[in-house]
Structure 1
Amino acid sequence: MEQQVPGIRDESAARRESISLEEWQQGGKWFFYEGHAIFSRMGGQGEPLVLIHGFPTASWDWNRIWPMLVQNNKLLVADLLGFGFSDKPREHAYSIADQADLVEGLLEGLGLEAVHLLAHDYGCSVAQELLAREQEGVLPFQIASVCFLNGALFPEVHNPLMIQKLLRSPMGGLLSRALTRRSFERSFLKLFGSKNLPDQQDLDDFWHLLTYNNGRGILHHLIQFMEERRCHRHRWVSALQNARQPMRLISGTADPVSGAAMAQRYQELIPEADVVQLRNVGHYPHFESPWEVYGAYREFRKRHSDPEH
């Protein structure tokens, strides 16, 4: 079932109301996970909503939609291990399961009984693993709803960029350490639709987060999640197909990596699939078109909180 997006405000307003990277960092706190410092932010009142970011960026991706969501939700977000302002240990065995452990530990430590999930890209795989754990009865909290943004939910239709393929290759370590600002921008900009490209300040901030604390040196380790998606496909796709809670996919269809083909596959494989497609929007819909994403997400939550539905 494909939904229409409610009335949308001017996206330029979201850019003006966005949170600078410096403000984002200053408003955060750190906690420890297995001896590593993890950056996090919290804000707002209401039902807990956990935002899980993608690769190779960080929680700051949510900065444009944060002011909208924080009005009616208790927001929780963290830079996953190896990302953003969190520690980036060079020898760590990075995995989706490990990141799910991190999120699970954070939420259990806060004593939360139920949470909503809004996940993007890499974060979608983390959310799928959490769903699988809930269905196995081992999660210490309930997942009330899940909304996905442009993630490789089905690896068979994922179309990685050339730089992603090279990072996964035997030369990945060399490429990771040698990555230049110019080559990063050239590849990164391919992910965006025509609607709202990042400006120079945005690119400066994305690059800063990527390279912070020697982040370039571990990209080839982090990107092995693409193989994890293939190996755990049955577990993670089954988690979607067996989900009992409301789910929605909001898809930027101009995304060359996990856009229109991923949305089509979702409609084919997920019972009563709820999909919102955003035209001329690429891989980062919450950054490119935050008011559209907010409108679609707000309608999703309202629909499932209404006892008549």
Structure 2
Amino acid sequence: MTALPGIALEAWRGLGQSFNFNGHAVRYWTAGDPAAEPLLLIHGFPTASWDWHYLWQPLAQKYRVIACDMLGFGYSAKPRGHAYSLLEQADLQQALLEHLAIQGPLHVLAHDYGDSVAQELLARHHEGRIQLASCVFLNGGLFPETHHPVLVQKLLLSPIGSLIGRLFSRKKLAASFAQVFGPHTQPSARELDDFWSLIAANNGPAVMHRLIRYILDRRVNRDRWVAAMQSTAVPLRVIDGARDPISGAHMVARYRELIANADTVLLEQIGHYPQTEAPAEVLAHYLQFRERLAGG
């Protein structure tokens, strides 16, 4: 497929705005026609909303796209000693929507850590606390029983997690990403520099051991989230890089076991970051999903 041009990180940074969430500065981005259907993009761990930069402009041609760097990520505040949680990140997404005066049905496109935030929003949809129109998940730990964390994630969750975070470096990031990206879609040196700069901003490595507790949040909320996915009338789709050792083809197999009439797309040679490894394919599969919804 034709490559998408993307947005350079410095240009992306310049497009951001800030709002206050519980006393913390959060960076967010919007684009597209304010009257168009809202589409919330939710990034993963340990990166930030720049993950969506290849898809940002193509999606903004059709929808009002919204994204933020969640608390502890990217250019947003990374408070030390904070008890980060997925539920609080869902609160943050709802606060951002309120800040932007966005009401009514919301479409969601999420990845990795963001999948769990999206699952929480789906559960809240069933509780009448938000109205979702659709939800698409990229690679992520939708089910704790199929999540295979890489070594650095296990170490961050261990009693020496704070030390591991402080020692985390661009070199260690490159080693981790080499494991989880597809064999033919490895990140370039420039991309690794940019990913690392987002993690390093505001002394991010110092809070990684606190952010990683999302793995425990997933276990606690697993049954509620899966029940919401199983009972929902909200249209769902999974677009997944099959070569991802964390949440690749094995996660999709479990999804098909648990979710009736499962709508899944497997990208056979792609790893954990399909939106940067194969953005044109992800865009095509996402737009096809939305066109089908629009057609009833």
User: Secondary structure of 2:54's partner?
Assistant: coil
Counterparts of 1:179 and 1:43, CA distance in 2: 33
Counterparts of 1:76 and 1:119, CA distance in 2: 12
Corresponding residue to 1:168 among 157, 175, 180 = 157
The residue type equivalent to 2:166 in the other structure is R
For residue 55 of structure 1, report the CA deviation from its aligned partner: 0.2
Q: How does 1:85-164 map to 2 (within 5 A)?
A: 85-111=75-101, 112-139=103-130, 142-164=131-153
The residue type equivalent to 1:205 in the other structure is D
Corresponding residue to 1:24 among 5, 12, 25 = 12
User: Secondary structure of 1:213's partner?
Assistant: helix
For residue 109 of structure 1, report the CA deviation from its aligned partner: 2.9
For residue 180 of structure 1, report the CA deviation from its aligned partner: 2.4
The residue type equivalent to 1:299 in the other structure is Q
Corresponding residue to 2:71 among 81, 91, 102 = 81
Aligned equivalent of 2:228: 239
User: Secondary structure of 1:217's partner?
Assistant: helix
The residue type equivalent to 2:221 in the other structure is H
Aligned equivalent of 1:250: 239
Matched pairs, number: 293
TM-score by length of 2: 0.97
CA contact (8 A) 2:38 2:106 kept: yes
Counterparts of 1:293 and 1:262, CA distance in 2: 18
For residue 83 of structure 1, report the CA deviation from its aligned partner: 0.1
1:47 is the counterpart of 2:37:
yes
User: Secondary structure of 1:159's partner?
Assistant: coil
Q: How does 1:209-224 map to 2 (within 5 A)?
A: 209-224=198-213
* CA deviation vs aligned residue, 1:281-300 (integer Å, no higher than 9, x gap): 00000110000000000000
1:64 is the counterpart of 2:45:
no
For residue 57 of structure 1, report the CA deviation from its aligned partner: 0.3
For residue 237 of structure 1, report the CA deviation from its aligned partner: 0.8
User: Secondary structure of 1:51's partner?
Assistant: strand
Aligned equivalent of 1:5: none
Counterparts of 2:97 and 2:185, CA distance in 1: 33
Where does structure 1 differ by over 2 angstroms across 4 or more consecutive aligned residues? 108-111
* CA deviation vs aligned residue, 1:151-210 (integer Å, no higher than 9, x gap): 100110111101110000000001101112212211122110023221111000000000
Aligned equivalent of 1:275: 264
User: Secondary structure of 1:212's partner?
Assistant: helix
Instruction: For CA contacts below 8 A with separation 6 or more, give which structure has more relative contact order.
Output: 1
User: Secondary structure of 1:144's partner?
Assistant: strand
Aligned equivalent of 2:178: 189
Counterparts of 1:50 and 1:179, CA distance in 2: 30
For residue 231 of structure 1, report the CA deviation from its aligned partner: 1.3
Aligned equivalent of 1:4: none
Counterparts of 2:49 and 2:172, CA distance in 1: 23
Counterparts of 2:178 and 2:74, CA distance in 1: 19
User: Secondary structure of 2:202's partner?
Assistant: coil
Counterparts of 2:126 and 2:148, CA distance in 1: 29
User: Secondary structure of 1:118's partner?
Assistant: strand
Corresponding residue to 2:192 among 180, 203, 211 = 203
Counterparts of 2:170 and 2:28, CA distance in 1: 26
User: Secondary structure of 1:170's partner?
Assistant: coil
CA contact (8 A) 2:170 2:193 kept: no
Identity %, equivalent residues: 50
For residue 110 of structure 1, report the CA deviation from its aligned partner: 2.4
Counterparts of 1:32 and 1:115, CA distance in 2: 22
Counterparts of 2:113 and 2:135, CA distance in 1: 14
